[in-house]
Each structure stands twice: as C-alpha cells, then as structure tokens.
Structure 1
Amino acid sequence: MNSMHPALTLYSTWGCHLCDEAEQLLLQAGLAGRFKVTDIVDDEQAFARYRLMIPVLCRGDNELCWPFDADQLATWLKDVQ
C-alpha cells in the first residue's frame, strides 16, 4: 500500500458536531495522518450513500457507522487490517 495516501476515510460534512466527535476519537486513537476527512457535499456518490449516516469511517468496503466509541473503533481497526 502506498503510505502517501491515508488508509482510512472519514465521511463528514461541515457543521456536523457528531463528525467532529468522530474525528476527535480518531485523533485520540493515535490515527493522525492515517485518515482523510471527505465532505460528502463534495462527493456526489458519498452524499447519496452516507447523507443520513454520517459520520462514517471507511477502509475499502468496510464501514464503521456512527455511533462508535474508542473500544468499537479499536475492534473495527483490528478487523480491517
């Protein structure tokens, strides 16, 4: 895998406090630099898929939908490695 591209994508949108919480969880889990935040408003396919579900963390076809906590995040990350 190319280390220049983050392996994880957090689908989010501006002004979403749940999305902000999810991003903080990722940072607290030590994932800074390992994920990118994609605003669904800028991605038509993501908007159609996730508009009622955000925040959603993805790696490939694997999705972790909100709500999730630090333990659920850690378990999911182990499962998708």
Structure 2
Amino acid sequence: MQQPVFTLYRRDACLLCALAEALLGEAGVIYAVVDIESSVALEARYGTRIPVLARDDGAELGWPFDAEALRAFVACAP
C-alpha cells in the first residue's frame, strides 16, 4: 500500500475542510488527515489557517486553493 505524501490538517465540522477534502478526492490525491484539535501545538500552529495541505518535504498549501493550485502543488512532490 502506498504511503501518503500529503497530510491535510483540519478540524471536525469545518466546511472549508470538507471542500478541501472534496478537491483532494476529485484529484485522486492520497493523504493522511490530522485533526488539529488533537494537539495544543497543532492548534497553535494552524488555528484559523485550516485547512492546510502539507507535503512530506515541509511545503504547505493553505486554503483557499482550487483544483489548479492543488495540481501544481502535487506535481512538485518529491
């Protein structure tokens, strides 16, 4: 099974997060999900910036992003 190269930082009951997940699904991106409310450090880091898609190389794509921006971000993955 292929390991995700991407992590979506989100929180429950977040409409923007649901929109981001829909875009990721349409693009066929394999990703892990992290609820920022599970960590004080993540809550402090991402707070109101969610959803944020992070690559394993440390690059981040913050909301708002569209399908074109997502494709470009994914294409640059190591």
**Equivalent in the alignment of 2:40:** 44
Q: Which runs of 4+ in 1 moved over 4 A?
A: none
The answer to which structure has the higher helix fraction is: 2
By how many angstroms is 1:16 displaced? 0.4
Q: Show structure 1 runs of 5+ residues with no match.
A: none
- Residue 19 of structure 2, aligned match among 21, 32, 44: 21
**Partner-residue secondary structure (3-state), 2:76:** helix
By how many angstroms is 1:38 displaced? 0.7
Q: Show structure 2 runs of 5+ residues with no match.
A: none
TM-score, L = length of structure 2: 0.89
**Equivalent in the alignment of 1:72:** 69
TM-score, L = length of structure 1: 0.86
> CA RMSD of the aligned region, Å?
1.4
Query: For the Cα contact (< 8 Å) 1:62–1:80, is it kept in 2?
Result: no
**Equivalent in the alignment of 2:4:** 6
